[in-house]
Amino acid sequence: MPYGERKTQIIETAAQLFSERGYHATSVRDIAAALDLQGGSLYAHIQSKEEVLWLIVERAAEQFFEAVRPLAESDLPPDEKLRRAVHAHIRVITDDLAAATVYFHEWRFLEEEHRNTFLEQRREYEHLWREMVREGMEKGVLRNDEDPKYMAILILSAMNWLYHWYRPDGPLSPDEIAERFWRMLLEGLQAPVFEVPTA
Amino acid sequence: MPYGERKTQIIETAAQLFSERGYHATSVRDIAAALDLQGGSLYAHIQSKEEVLWLIVERAAEQFFEAVRPLAESDLPPDEKLRRAVHAHIRVITDDLAAATVYFHEWRFLEEEHRNTFLEQRREYEHLWREMVREGMEKGVLRNDEDPKYMAILILSAMNWLYHWYRPDGPLSPDEIAERFWRMLLEGLQAPVFEVPTA
């Protein structure tokens, strides 16, 4: 955690409020009130509401990178790499649903410079996934009759939608969801047409 | 279209503004200005900003139902039913990205009664998908070692994320995206392990 305790509290409280009400419907005063502070005293820690939005988005982006990049750059076989990356990506979402909601939706309200940095980081992150997919194709693990771009988008879409429906008190843990989703994606939804002969 | 021309314009303009700026950051005055009207004159057609949000969400919900219910209730084989439903659902999203964005995100700002109706309709719509999946399992088309609930969520997630990334000037048409996504979902991402013997 690169920030002091107070700044971290501000970021987390703001993420909660932004995710519930939306960025524009949340004032600095609301964030302060949720922390039992005076509105003005928040400005000792932050410059603007937009800075807080940026800190939330930047932190979430870092968490996705920290979770997935070591796997992408590892020597694991491509299917195991992707399997673990699916678990890791899903855990970043489920560990902090509020931050994920802000990352996936409210980023559009960033000011231009921050928004451009966000979009650049997101492209870089998607590139990690595309390269994992491409490696899987090259090594004969994934089908190579599809475009790695759309295969990566399909995998990311299946995972990212979690922020809309995942609830911590639901019946499946994040790892169980990751396991099932990855199995369905990898093996496909259709019934097996014939049996593998047993050795 | 069940509304007069002016009301339809209001709904479409508001959907555009809500999707770009968010519901809370858009005022009735903004909607009026985008239509070259006086703010007050909008109230001849609508009661409140929240009513407009509800009209957008309700209309999108209807479009999803109208596109998919006839397929779900048809006598088509389950894989063809699902394939066509994937195309139909994706077309509702891509035909009106602004409305889809409001439907998927801004619904949370509906007032309680409308929000409850929305959630009820969404459950009903998801139920259509779950039943198509269940039928596919029962008829031996889809694998039956997975929970129809999570299989339906996986399919809907893959499609719904389109509102984040689809652009009308992108390289693939909505039908091409639907075709590829459904093929990858159905057949799976892994390389075929062995060949089907040719007859």
- CATH number, domain of B183, equals 1.10.357.10
User: What's the confidence (pLDDT) of residue B196?
Assistant: 57
pLDDT level of residue B192 (50, 70, 90 thresholds): confident
Question: Mind listing the pLDDT tens digit for each residue in B60-94?
Answer: 999 999 999 999 999 999 999 999 999 999 999 99
Minimum Cα–Cα distance from A105: chain B residue: B105
User: Radius of gyration of chain B from Cα atoms?
Assistant: 20
- The pLDDT, as a whole number, for residue B5 is 86
Cα distance from A43 to chain B (closest Cα, Å)?
A: 23
> Does residue B2 belong to any structural domain of this protein?
no
pLDDT over threshold 60, residue B22: yes
Answer yes or no: do B162 and A165 touch at CB < 8 A.
Answer: no
Q: Quote the percentage of chain B above a pLDDT of 70.
A: 96
State mean pLDDT over A91-107.
96
In Å, how far is A4's CA from the nearest CA of chain B? Answer: 31
Query: Is B22 contained in some domain?
Result: no
Specify if B17 maps to a domain: no
The Cβ of residue B148 has, within 10 Å, a number of other Cβ atoms equal to 19
- CB–CB of B180/A146 below 8 Å? yes
Would you say A158 and A181 are in contact if contact means Cβ atoms under 8 Å apart? yes
What confidence category does residue B199 fall into, taking pLDDT thresholds of 50, 70 and 90? low
Query: Quick check: is A6 in a domain?
Result: no
The residue-averaged pLDDT of A121-144 equals 97
Domain assignment of residue A35, yes or no:
no
Mutation site for B-interface testing, chosen from A189, A195, A198 by largest number of B Cβ within 10 Å: A189
**Is the per-residue pLDDT at B181 higher than 70?**
yes
Q: At B100, which amino acid appears? A: A
DSSP code, position B107: G
Tell me whether residue A129 is in a domain. yes
Band (A121; pLDDT cuts 50, 70, 90): very high
Q: Taking residues B45-60, report their average pLDDT.
A: 95
**Is B192 in Cβ contact with A189 (below 8 Å)?**
no
The boundaries of the domain holding residue B123 are 48-187
Please name the residues in contact with A107: beta carbons below 8 A apart, sequence gap of 6 or more.
Answer: A53, A57, A115, A118
- Provide the pLDDT for residue A196: 57
Domain tally, chain B:
1
- What's chain A's average pLDDT? 94
A11-62 pLDDT tens trace: 999 999 999 989 998 999 999 999 998 878 888 899 999 999 999 999 999 9
How far apart (Å, rounded) are the C-alpha atoms in residues A50 and A54? 6
Domain membership of residue B35 (yes or no) is: no
What's the confidence (pLDDT) of residue B195?
Answer: 57
Within a domain: residue A115? yes
pLDDT tens column, A161-199: 999 999 999 999 999 999 999 999 999 999 987 655 555
